[in-house]
Structure 1
């Protein structure tokens, strides 16, 4: 049993940490107390031993300033339902980014593939290219892709992000540029520390993946992290906790040259096959 007691006003003063500026100021006077049970330790250990490699694809969009509601819905619907038109995509989430970002990105798309080969075929797929040409490019003035390989529990629900745990929540994306000297040892140590921390709070976090960006057409960021939170409250509790602040300050701040943190509410938009 782990208990977090977080004075929100004090936590929100640490502006050097990613995402704090995105947390609503009307919650600053709250003291959040959260009990987190880790569940069956034996089952958790068994899940850790059984892992499956997956490939994560992140696409950040800069929508046109005067994009209408219908244009936005059309673009997101086509992107979301593309999973039904081509093989290899095992999970999709997307939405409008909450708050402002450093680089003015407005929307985020997350896709999971079974392999790098499936991702390569996706980029070359005629249907996807048509979606970009007819529904994305006319409505956006910029986009960025980040791809990385990671591991998840070797089970149907975690791999395909299915089940009640994945129906709703907050999708958090963190992109990082590590200084070149830290790419191997210190960077991997920092990411491992973050991964281990997220695994301590299954009541807050459904899943976390991370890895090195292998998309050579977009080398602005060296690594990516995607965390699915169970709710906005869980999202706020984690990022205002002393545990997260300690990990970020000791492991990431000394070696991170640039970061981009965004999040969006998970609310599936695709209801029909286009």
Structure 2
């Protein structure tokens, strides 16, 4: 089995305490995963929340910003690097941006989005200032939209562990992995208790496997200019192997069938390999 093969190679994460190993029953059917610069790692599923790498006693609110781009077919490697570099290093030019990850989307999707940008802010006010910032407007005008013909923005408030590393997504655990962005448009009749129950079930399941997942946030989209999707979930997996195991597991499929399928109008799952591109301020 894939899980057995993974657990037989490479050393484990030193900061993770494996006190309760369990096995996910998984059927892997994902193609074209981008494993560039993803080191082999040891993955052992664990069902105890207290084994997480970060303390869970206190939480802090954060605001997550997602931008999905549709690049033109003529986009060259040089132009793509230029676009991603400017987006990544914009965090050094504007106040309020806590963390950034971005990259080329690895999977085919019905909306044909090609690139994704994730940014974290401290408050909603910081997001408002971000949209109005002249520097960001210039980046979009000169280094993004010349290469893209469409984009969608989603913003939501969530909570993370009240500690420097998880808030700023710093440290060895955040250097590499797979960013999984899942956008949802729930039926209007399901908004409220059914949606809250579905998202709570997903959150509970994710917390049971900290050896696969570094961090996950979710929330309701409050971006008034882009209401195509009502909710979003962003999950950082430790590796492409961990991503495959979790999404292919029986546990995940059961939650999806029992909680989500009947109340979803539209859904967009995309993922990209984490690979920092910006080293110098542009």
C-alpha distance in structure 1 between counterparts of 2:97 and 2:141, whole Å: 20
C-alpha distance in structure 1 between counterparts of 2:189 and 2:107, whole Å: 33
What's the CA shift for 1:49?
Answer: 3.0
What's the CA shift for 1:247?
Answer: 0.5
Aligned residues: CA RMSD: 2.0
What's the CA shift for 1:100?
Answer: 1.3
Residue 74 in structure 1 maps to residue 79 in structure 2: no
**Structure with greater helix share of residues:** 1
Structure 2 counterpart of 1:135: 143
Change (3 A) 1:129 1:247: same
Q: Secondary structure at the match of 2:55?
A: helix
Count how many residue pairs are aligned between Structure 1 and Structure 2. 256
**Equivalent in 44, 57, 76 of residue 35 of structure 1:** 44
Structure 1 gaps of 5+ residues are 13-19, 25-32
C-alpha distance in structure 1 between counterparts of 2:260 and 2:48, whole Å: 29
Is the CA contact 1:213–1:219 (under 8 Å) kept in the aligned structure 2? yes
**Equivalent in 114, 118, 127 of residue 119 of structure 1:** 127
C-alpha distance in structure 2 between counterparts of 1:183 and 1:83, whole Å: 34
Structure 2 counterpart of 1:253: 261
C-alpha distance in structure 2 between counterparts of 1:146 and 1:3, whole Å: 35
Structure 2 gaps of 5+ residues are 1-19, 35-41
C-alpha distance in structure 2 between counterparts of 1:86 and 1:251, whole Å: 40
C-alpha distance in structure 2 between counterparts of 1:162 and 1:7, whole Å: 30
C-alpha distance in structure 1 between counterparts of 2:114 and 2:58, whole Å: 36
Change (3 A) 1:7 1:134: closer
Residue 4 in structure 1 maps to residue 23 in structure 2: yes
**Equivalent in 163, 167, 178 of residue 175 of structure 2:** 167
After superposition, the C-alpha distances for 1:20-48 in whole angstroms (9 at most, x for unaligned) are 56669xxxxxxxx963246783x76x933
TM-score normalised by structure 1 residue count: 0.89
What's the CA shift for 1:269?
Answer: 0.3
C-alpha distance in structure 1 between counterparts of 2:268 and 2:49, whole Å: 35
Structure 2 counterpart of 1:30: none
TM-score normalised by structure 2 residue count: 0.86
C-alpha distance in structure 1 between counterparts of 2:25 and 2:254, whole Å: 14
